[in-house]
Amino acid sequence: MKVIFKNLVRKNVLALAPYSSARDEFTEVADVYIDANENPYNWDYNRYPDPYQQTLKNAISEWKNVPAENLFLGNGSDEIIDLLIRGFCEPQIDQILTFNPSYGMYNVSADINHVAVRTFPLDENFEFDRDEFIRKIEPNDKLIFICSPNNPSGNTYSNEDIISICNRFSGLVVVDEAYIDFADTRSMVSYIRQIPNLVVMQTLSKAMGAAGIRLGIGFMDIELVTILNKIKPPYNINEASQKIALSIVKNRKEKMAQVSEILNERAKVTDQISHYKFVKKVFPTEANFVLVRVDDADHLYRYLLSKGIVARNRNKQFRCEGCIRFTIGTPSENQVLMNALNEYQNQN
Ligand SMILES: *Cc1c(COP(=O)(O)O)cnc(C)c1O
């Protein structure tokens, strides 16, 4: 199916003239900058940041082996989710399509933008039938969000299935790979040059250990980058975040060592948890968390809280009845959790 971005983008977005910042109008190097009403006394942060984050994008481009022109950076992936909805979905007319259960921000961003959300129910193993899903696509669906590995379940979806959805859909397929560095399944980033309606999102918030700086990475067709650049806040990635992100990208080996330790711990934790009598099911995971079904999730959740341990109670979410989600911590944090679970078992 041929995807024509001009027809997909909202009409007002297509027509609008974006804010032209001082740093847009003059991009060369000068001796005296008196164009942006900044305080002239130099220190690290007296100047506005690069609105297009070129240095950072070049470093990410080399890391991910994707041209810098195919990158869009957001104030967290959450900003990219919002900008995609805002750019492509006409409020009260267009819809987004996603799965249930999945990451909550797709719904929240759609709600804020007055865009309807249609959800396709995952089965009890958090899988879906691809052809049945494709049959359910409606003409007003503009964006499909696929979270892989999925939050809160931890499983992934096959590249093959996602590609066939892309091929059968005239809108954008957004694959949220927030947890891909913990997964055996391969990233879909390498497909974005061949599949124009595929958008892949990653983030520095999880494996890269920098949730606090808010840096999300969108991989997409150049035309889509142009559209998002039109509607983003001019300086959406602040200078401090750009600098820290650059140093993280350059020192990524350090983070990848932490990821392998987390993966070792994940194997240990999932194995140990599966032996408790009150545990009914440990769902297979390719992320840095594990979803566990227990006899009484609310009771266990409150017990852990009383021990100073905060897990995520997913008991009320569709398909997650009786489930708690545990993020994999440091070895000593995981030990604290195991000690508490041992005690819980002995008392109940
Ligand atoms: C944590 C998470 C994100 C991260 O969002 P940021 O705004 O980049 O911190 C995105 N998607 C999913 C599914 C997540 O769980």
209-247 residue pLDDT tens? 999 999 999 999 999 999 999 999 999 999 999 999 999
Measured at the CA of 266, the angle between CA 340 and CA 276, to 5 degrees, comes to 40
Per-residue confidence at 89, pLDDT binned at 50, 70, 90? very high
Q: Report the chain's mean pLDDT, rounded to a whole number.
A: 97
Contact 145, 176 (CB under 8 A): yes
Q: How far apart are CA 203 and CA 73, in angstroms?
A: 9
Q: Which of 77, 82, 102, 126 to mutate to test the pocket of ligand 1 (most atoms within 8 A of CB)?
A: 77
How many angstroms separate the alpha carbon of residue 89 from the centre of ligand 1?
A: 21
Q: How far apart are CA 155 and CA 145, in angstroms?
A: 15
126: left (phi over 0), alpha (psi -120 to 50) or beta: left
Ligand 1 pocket by C-beta < 6 Å: which residues? Answer: 76-78, 103, 147, 151, 176, 178, 203, 205-206, 211, 216
How many angstroms separate the alpha carbon of residue 5 from the centre of ligand 1?
A: 26
How many angstroms separate the alpha carbon of residue 252 from the centre of ligand 1?
A: 19
Rounded to an integer, the average pLDDT of 251-256 is 96
Task: Determine the pLDDT at residue 46.
Answer: 97
Task: Determine the pLDDT at residue 1.
Answer: 73
Concatenated DSSP letters for 79-142?
HHHHHHHHHH--TTT-EEEEEES--THHHHHHHHTT-EEEEEE--TTS---HHHHHHT--TTEE
Length of the chain counted residue by residue: 348
Task: Determine the pLDDT at residue 2.
Answer: 77
Per-residue confidence at 27, pLDDT binned at 50, 70, 90? confident
Q: Which of 151, 182, 204, 219 to mutate to test the pocket of ligand 1 (most atoms within 8 A of CB)?
A: 151
Is the omega angle on the peptide bond into residue 331 within 30 degrees of 0, that is, cis? no
Q: Which of 216, 272, 197, 213 is nearest to 73 (CA)?
A: 216
How many angstroms separate the alpha carbon of residue 142 from the centre of ligand 1?
A: 21
* 3-class state of residue 236 by DSSP: coil
The answer to whether the pTM exceeds 0.95 is yes
Rounded to an integer, the average pLDDT of 42-58 is 97
Question: Percentage of residues in the chain with pLDDT exceeding 70?
Answer: 100
